[in-house]
Structure 1
Amino acid sequence: MSSTPDKLTPNDPRVEHHTLTIRNNKWHYLLANPSSSPSTATMLLVHGWPDLAFGWRYQVPHLLSLGLRVIIPDMLGYGGTDAPALEREYSMKNIANDLATLAAHVVGEGERVVLGGHDWGGAVVWKMALWRPEVVSAVFSVCTPYAPPREGPYVDLEGVVKRLPNFRYQLQLAGREVEEGVVGEERTRGFLCGMYGGRTRDGERAFDTQKGVFLEKLEGMGMSPLLNEEEVEFYVREYVRKGLHGPLNWYRTTRVNWEEERELVERGTEALRIKVPSMIVTASKDDALPPAMTAYMGPWFDSLERREVEAGHWALWQAAADVNRHIGDFLSKVLGTEQGSKL
């Protein structure tokens, strides 16, 4: 069994806290610079739902040890970043442009970054490679497959669920039930512990992919096995600040993404291919994003590596050492031998 790697703490001195206003929204991001100067490349890591920039806590120290600079934003709607009410603000095109602006602010205009994503963050980095390819030198996703923009008429979320029943929970999240039912510190703590693997006294879960969040079980939810008490309290404080409306807006963008991605579809199939070196790391026990969903990806890439870890959806934490190893191997190939010599 792999040893547990070093990780950031909520107030870790190895990261700096910064803000940047983009499209009238204040973005909060973490910036970590390696002790060796200058850095050999820059990583931009993108979290998903329900998470924060802190979700990459096991990966950042490893990347720093490889001489890499790391940018990790709280994504739109989360943590210290603003949470606009309008769903359109959260479209993949808007987010790709926002992240390109953030990258240019940190590394300079015309420079490229390596993108990494998990959950919704994985969907973001794939689409950013389409919308803003000039910013991206390489890209990887943990758990989330690449879904190319679809030709043909609009398919709503109900239609998506008919094809992908493992996404049925998204119908609940796209509504108002969860954001209205998860309010206050106690229920927010129960929600987060439940999403991160906690159980009730009777061993019941707080979530499954067919029904979504079991709101009636939140107040009796036990501690997450994946976070310590300090980490749980950090997540609770960050989520109580604005509630779940912003984070759940990501599930309300089906139509706006389809509308905006018509532009990519009309450019032709080549515009939907990802041309930079790429890697997908699947998690063998992920019920929401099972590895089988990645089977069709190959033809859409010029260069795609496939890796798998034994973990559920929270693979960044559950299989941190293995995820880090796969990321390090990938970087040693796409960035040259200097990173490889430090593995």
Structure 2
Amino acid sequence: MSSAKLVPNDPRVKTETAQIRGKNYKYIVGKPEGEPIDTIVLIHGFPDLGFGWRCQVPYFMSLGFQVVVPDMIGYGGTDAPEALEEYTYKSVAADINELARKFVGEGQIILGGHDWGGVVAWRLTMWYPELIKAVFSVCTPYPPPSSTFVPLDVVIAAGHLQNFTYQLQFAGPDVQAKLQGKEKVRQFLSALYGARGPNGEPGFQVLEGIQFDNLPLLGQPPLLSEEELDYYTEEYLRNGAPELRGPLNWYRMRKLNFEDELEVADKGFRYTMPALFITATEDSALPPSMSKGMDKHFDNLTRGEVKASHWALTQASEGVNGQVGKWLDTVLKGALKAAL
């Protein structure tokens, strides 16, 4: 079986849907040749889809894994509920736990995440440790639950987390209201995936957010082919206007997540299962320095690094795949050696 990246509607994987806790989830399933040695569940972030793992799914299948990759709540073929409570880490963790149980019953999964999906991976492991054999995150460090709530605008005004300034715009009304319809959604996606205007004009900057005036100037994003951009755009149109409401809701959850996690913040949580964290050296949204101090929460944390921007899954796919593969071989005590 080829390890080349997935293309839209790739015949090597199946697209399925399931009712999960009253919501319709769309996900892709990749099965290896022969009996799977284990099951990997992959969680995407913003503004991705399950398709964001297109460079990893065939690789993991070639190693003998069954791979399950959902569109997360608010995205693509999965429902985008109005209620913000459906987007909390705790609610999403319950969703993915139920989805995973469809494949492994009372068994365990290996869990991976990127961007918001990385936070979900850490939190899902926190809420359902019995489900997780091992967990990895690309770009997203572990943020321990806090017993004190501080609004993001206050944090930024105090000179901290300047790289999250764009999140204030995303949580507000402007992006959702201004960018509706196929053309605007396509421009938005182009901006996030690195497109620039003829004179280098950016469509997005972490210290400001979307540069609305520059959007009509943008060319083809370097991180998506035209076919891939077409696919992303069509998937974003599935849930109707305002098309960005669901994905942007992930930026509106700070207080609700804090309230859910207070009980854990007070007693703490320790990761006893094997964990892997891969940083991207040029990630402006989640710079490697943000992971300082996270090791103390883990019994068995492996660190890796790739030379890439935030979009390491595609920019540095060989590096990500190789490091995850070697770590998995250690976790599974040599079961992958033939494939590696």
2:47 is matched with 50
Aligned residue identity for 2:101: A
Q: TM-score by structure 1 length?
A: 0.95
Aligned residue identity for 1:249: N
> Aligned equivalents of 2:253 and 2:91: distance in 1?
11
Structure 1 position 184, deviation (Å): 1.4
2:310 to 313, 320, 338: 313
> Aligned equivalents of 1:253 and 1:28: distance in 2?
22
Aligned residue identity for 2:109: V
Aligned residue identity for 2:139: C
> Aligned equivalents of 2:149 and 2:290: distance in 1?
21
Cα contact 1:328–1:340 (8 A) shared by 2: no
Q: TM-score by structure 2 length?
A: 0.96
CA distances 1:267-306 after superposition (whole Å, capped 9, x unpaired): x23xx21111001100000000000011111100011111
Equivalent residue pairs, number = 333
The answer to whether structure 1 residue 291 and structure 2 residue 288 are counterparts is: yes
Aligned residue identity for 1:132: Y
> Aligned equivalents of 1:316 and 1:325: distance in 2?
12
The answer to whether structure 1 residue 116 and structure 2 residue 112 are counterparts is: yes
Cα contact 1:157–1:171 (8 A) shared by 2: yes
The answer to whether structure 1 residue 12 and structure 2 residue 7 are counterparts is: no
The answer to whether structure 1 residue 225 and structure 2 residue 222 are counterparts is: yes
Cα contact 2:49–2:71 (8 A) shared by 1: yes
1:158 is matched with 153
Give the SS at the match of 2:337. helix
Aligned residue identity for 2:152: L
The answer to whether structure 1 residue 188 and structure 2 residue 188 are counterparts is: no
1:171 is matched with 168
Report % sequence identity. Answer: 47
2:22 to 16, 21, 24: 24
Structure 1 position 341, deviation (Å): 2.5
Cα contact 2:280–2:310 (8 A) shared by 1: yes
> Aligned equivalents of 2:155 and 2:339: distance in 1?
43
Give the SS at the match of 1:259. helix
The answer to whether structure 1 residue 335 and structure 2 residue 332 are counterparts is: yes
Q: Which moved more, 1:233-242 or 1:51-60?
A: 233-242
1:138 is matched with 134
Which stretches in structure 1 are left out of the alignment for 5+ residues? none
Give the SS at the match of 2:335. helix
> Aligned equivalents of 2:67 and 2:173: distance in 1?
35
Structure 1 position 265, deviation (Å): 2.4
Cα contact 2:166–2:205 (8 A) shared by 1: yes
Which stretches in structure 2 are left out of the alignment for 5+ residues? none
**Which runs of structure 2 are paired with 1:86-125 in the superposition (5 Å)?**
86-108=83-105, 110-125=106-121
The answer to whether structure 1 residue 240 and structure 2 residue 237 are counterparts is: yes
> Aligned equivalents of 2:65 and 2:222: distance in 1?
30
CA distances 1:151-187 after superposition (whole Å, capped 9, x unpaired): 2x32112133342111111000001111112111111
CA distances 1:103-141 after superposition (whole Å, capped 9, x unpaired): 001221x11100000000000000111101011000000
> Aligned equivalents of 2:251 and 2:111: distance in 1?
22
> Aligned equivalents of 1:9 and 1:201: distance in 2?
28
CA distances 1:191-248 after superposition (whole Å, capped 9, x unpaired): 1112111111111111111101112221221001122111110001011222110101
Cα contact 2:76–2:237 (8 A) shared by 1: no
1:265 is matched with 265
- Which stretches of structure 1, 4 residues or longer, exceed 4 Å deviation after superposition? none
Give the SS at the match of 2:303. strand
Give the SS at the match of 1:116. strand
- CA RMSD in angstroms comes to 1.0
Cα contact 2:136–2:275 (8 A) shared by 1: yes
1:277 is matched with 274
> Aligned equivalents of 2:253 and 2:280: distance in 1?
25
